[in-house]
Amino acid sequence: MIISASTDYREAARRRLPPFLFHYIDGGAYAEHTLRRNVSDLSDVELRQRVLKNMSDLSINTQLWDDKLSMPVVLAPVGLSGMYARRGEVQAARAAAEKGISYTMSTVSVCPIEEVTPEIDRPMWFQLYVLKDRGFMKNVLDRAVAAGVKTLVFTVDMPVPGARYRDAHSGMSGPNAELRRYWQSVTHPRWAFDVGLNGKPHDLGNVSKYLGKPTGLADYIGWLGANFDQSISWKDLEWIREFWKGPMIIKGILDPDDAKDAVTFGADGIVVSNHGGRQLDGVLSSARALPAIADAVKGDIKILADSGIRSGLDVVRMLALGADAVMIGRAFVYALATAGEEGVLNLLNLFEKEMRVAMTLTGAKSISDISSDLLVKAMRQL
């Protein structure tokens, strides 16, 4: 068993949330091999311990384009966050802003863009899926610009939804889903009161604003399912590249050739990611995919990585494997579900402490000191 603050928050979230929501967060595709390997491959990364290097003036801040980050961590886009905590997107964004890092809002958030941005004193990042309804894409991008968003995260590893069998078992989908969700909600009264009753509207805020009518979980499955676009190619992204003036990041890269294509396309960054093991089971863990991608494009484009990061030590490991910064998904969502804004802030503070310990004991005084030199030699190419 891997012990970290996020493990504790995971167990607390399991107790608090109705099972259909806990398993929606916690689960992955098919038999969840990639989901498990994301965590286990990362924890297998061995670092060189270095001593007596006067580590008193350690700094962990960094910069991605115009965004100054107090540490190289960004909150990943996580759909339906407002179902895990009351107005969850607002709470997560506030915790990130308080910590001095960026929050990425998902296309399929409960709170709309306009509800979150006035609550924070730094620009939010926004994530967009490639959807058949280009009218929606244009509408939501215009609104993001109007709300001061500078950085766009374009998620490309979801031309089809991954098959997540846990959802059918848990009541998220499958037979009698609505009845089962209702029963699970009333038997989890802390969640039912805090989020179920007082966290309304449970809309897909960004979609509702566009469609001009309320939406809900059925629309999440229905509207989104009908809107995945399998015909998408790099060419379809060109209009966005022309339209979007700020940094554009391609999320969901797992292969060095795709990373090179992202450079050719003119992207500003990539996120090495398998969507937290939620798409194709059996693909490489991010920790295994990252070194070859860094060999191919490091320096040409900013490299972010996610999938499997559960602690500040894992952040240092991902950076040693070649990332410039990381995104965290489940780790912050478990904390959000357990204790809202305060939980996320506490988790981020623990991440910082863990990063400082790891850097002190590997002799890395700044983020730019973290490189493959920190890896035990046999680990340099996982």
Residue 102 touches ligand FNR, criterion: CB under 6 A: no
Please tell me whether residue 275 binds ligand FNR under the rule CB under 6 A. Answer: yes
CB of 255 to ligand FNR, least distance (A): 16
* d(C-alpha 318, C-alpha 347), whole Å: 18
Instruction: From 77-85, 132-140, 165-173, 254-262, give the range in contact with ligand FNR by CB under 6 A.
Output: 77-85
- Please report whether residue 85 would count as binding ligand FNR according to CB under 6 A: no
- For position 79 contacting ligand FNR by CB under 6 A, the verdict is yes
Q: With binding defined as CB under 6 A, does residue 307 bind ligand FNR? A: yes
The 121-140 site mask, x for binding ligand FNR (CB under 6 A), equals ------x-------------
Tell me: does residue 306 bind ligand FNR (CB under 6 A).
Answer: yes
Site for ligand FNR (CB under 6 A): which residue of 196, 276, 291, 340? Answer: 276
Nearest residue (CB) to ligand FNR, 106 versus 215: 106
State the number of CA atoms in the 13 A half-sphere of 291 facing the CB: 17
Residue nearest to ligand FNR (CB): 329
Please, what is the minimum distance in Å from the beta carbon of residue 76 to ligand FNR? 3
275 in active site: yes
Contact status, residue 126 vs residue 152, Cβ threshold 8 Å: yes
Nearest of 110, 123, 82, 127 to residue 275 by alpha carbon: 127
Quickly list DSSP for 264-275. Answer: HHT-SEEEE--G
- The amino acid that residue 105 corresponds to is M
Burial class (CB in 10 A: 0-12, 13-18, 19+), 293: buried
H-run or E-run covering 154: strand 151-155
Q: Are 230 and 223 in contact (CB under 8 A)?
A: no
Number of residues in contact with ligand FNR, rule: CB under 6 A?
A: 24
Residue 337 token pair:
């579900």
Listed residue (109, 118, 120) closest to 87, CA to CA? 109
Instruction: Indicate the Cα dihedral angle 281, 285, 288, 289, nearest 10°.
Output: 80
Q: Which amino acid is at 79?
A: G
Q: What angle do CA 312, 61, 80 make, to 5 degrees?
A: 60
Stretch that binds ligand FNR, among 63-71, 180-188, 204-212, 322-330 (CB under 6 A): 322-330
Asked if 155 is part of the footprint of ligand FNR (rule: CB under 6 A), the reply reads yes
Q: Does 347 bind ligand FNR (CB under 6 A)?
A: no
Which span sits near ligand FNR by CB under 6 A: 229-237, 289-297, 326-334, 354-362?
326-334
315 within 8 A of 62, measured Cβ to Cβ: no
Please say whether the beta carbons of 281 and 33 come within 8 A.
Answer: yes
Element (H, E) at 33: helix 33-43
Compare residues 49 and 125 and give the one whose CB is closer to ligand FNR. Answer: 125
Question: Is 1 or 52 the residue whose CB approaches ligand FNR more closely?
Answer: 1
- Strands of the sheet containing 269-272, edge to edge, are 73-75, 325-328, 302-305, 269-272, 248-253, 151-155, 125-129, 104-105
One residue of 9, 17, 34, 38 binding ligand FNR per CB under 6 A? 38
Which residue number, 38 or 62, has a Cβ lying nearer to ligand FNR? 38
List the one residue from 106, 170, 206, 338 that touches ligand FNR (CB under 6 A).
106
Q: Whose Cβ is closer to ligand FNR: residue 58's or residue 110's?
A: 110
Any contact of residue 340 with ligand FNR (CB under 6 A)? no
Q: Is 345 in the site for ligand FNR (CB under 6 A)?
A: no
Does residue 308 touch ligand FNR according to CB under 6 A?
yes
**Residue 199 touching ligand FNR (CB under 6 A):** no
Cα–Cα distance measured from residue 16 to residue 21, given in angstroms and rounded to the nearest whole number: 10
Q: Which is nearer to ligand FNR, 127 or 338 (CB)?
A: 127
Residue numbers annotated as active site: 275
Residues that bind ligand FNR (CB under 6 A): 24-25, 38, 76-79, 106, 108, 127, 155, 251, 273, 275-276, 278, 306-309, 328-331
